[in-house]
Amino acid sequence: MSRFARERRVFFVEEPVFDGGAPRLELRERPGGVCVAVPHLPDGIGSAAAERLQAELLRGLLADQGLADYVLWYYTPMAVAFTGGLEPSAVVYDCMDELSLFRGAPRELVDREERLLADADLVFTGGQSLYEAKRDRHPSVHAFPSSIDREHFQRARAPLPEPTDQARIPHPRLGYCGVIDERMDLDLLARVAEARPDWQFVLLGPIVKIDPAALPHRPNLHTLGLKTYAELPSYLAGWDVALMPFARNESTRFISPTKTPEYLAAGRPVVSTPIRDVVRPYGDLGLVQIAEDTAAFVTAVERCLALDAAERESWLLQADAFLAQSSWSRTWRQMSDLVDRAVAARRLAALESERSTSTCSIT
């Protein structure tokens, strides 16, 4: 979105905050030019009232900002509840996950996705598996797997100042960064930590939708909390191996982890459970070690730790050759071109409809 903001105005509407005050829309411009709009709603109101107020606030935003020619870009189908009646130049559904399979997913989500698919001009998917799941449900579906800000994460390949909370942790360090939720195989993590008490496990990220007490507690497990995007290279630089210990469940069926190319750009050997969009292509190309159970996971980490200088250099060259094929700038350019074509197609259809109506009335 920051790339889109270089040539368009971008308003990112977040989910509402219920804080007891009068309904209002808080606007904050972020570095890069994206304006974040946060709806503040009264406590204790029902979902119908919340959606009505969000619709009013959104229409107020369009009016106040003079937005008459705009694209609606959806990350969640739930937003169709407060965007009905708007007249966008085009509609994009950017499907990053199969949200209906997540724990606590709203019952209305499936029906609202059907509505969104019917209204959308374009559907983008965050991975190949999602593309295969959606391609027969819309005439214009396009796969955009996780890309990479290579320069940012490649900083981790050089010595960086050690973050204070990680500096006290001995090596070898095995790290994970990302949301800690039902998608993580916490039992696998605990078993590997028990099997190799000499390894240290560093977990970065917020704990979401699970009880923090459910996290395994071991002397060699270190939960350091949420870190900023800018801080991540400093943490990754101090890891010996990067991990993706995802569970095999409904919520991980279609995920395409962004951290896969980020870990590779950082120069960290990677071990992952057999997530489909990691196996294809990263596992098949030998860029990521794939391990299904505790014993295989331990063996895969040992293999990564045992890489000699020549093997590591060969692996890095292969990883860099793969990563050179993608970038967020390239993804943005392809998406932008598709959006421009969708806007043009809508305008042409509207013009032809107008001409047809005019011809009929004359006749």
pLDDT in tens, 16-65: 999 878 999 999 999 889 999 999 999 989 999 999 999 999 999 999 99
pLDDT in tens, 7-27: 999 999 999 999 878 999 999
Alpha-carbon span 66 to 294, nearest angstrom: 57
- pLDDT of residue 359 exceeding 90, the answer is no
Q: What is the dihedral of CA 224, 230, 236, 242, to 10 degrees?
A: 80
Q: Determine contact, residues 90/342, Cβ cutoff 8 Å.
A: yes
In terms of phi and psi (left: phi > 0; alpha: psi -120 to 50; beta: otherwise), the region of 57 is alpha
pLDDT in tens, 86-125: 999 999 999 988 877 776 677 888 899 999 999 999 999 9
Q: Determine contact, residues 125/134, Cβ cutoff 8 Å.
A: yes
- pLDDT of residue 362 exceeding 60, the answer is no
Q: Which range, 179-188, 232-241, 341-350, is most confident?
A: 232-241
pLDDT in tens, 144-164: 988 888 999 999 999 999 999
Stated pTM of the model = 0.80
pLDDT confidence of residue 358: 63
Alpha-carbon span 263 to 270, nearest angstrom: 7
pLDDT, averaged across the chain: 92
| C-beta neighbour count of 26 within 10 angstroms | 11
User: Helix count (H) and strand count (E) of the chain?
Assistant: 12, 14
Alpha-carbon span 42 to 22, nearest angstrom: 6
Ordered structural domains, the chain, with CATH: 4-147+329-359 (3.40.50), 150-323 (3.40.50.2000)
Alpha-carbon span 52 to 280, nearest angstrom: 43
Interacting residues of 22 by C-beta distance below 8 A, sequence separation 6+: 42
pLDDT in tens, 261-302: 999 999 999 999 999 999 999 999 999 999 999 999 999 999
Q: Determine contact, residues 79/91, Cβ cutoff 8 Å.
A: no
pLDDT confidence of residue 363: 43
pLDDT confidence of residue 97: 82
Residue 214: pLDDT band by 50, 70, 90 thresholds? Answer: confident
DSSP state, residue 140 = -
- Angstrom CA distances, 63 to 14, 103, 288, stand at 18, 37, 49
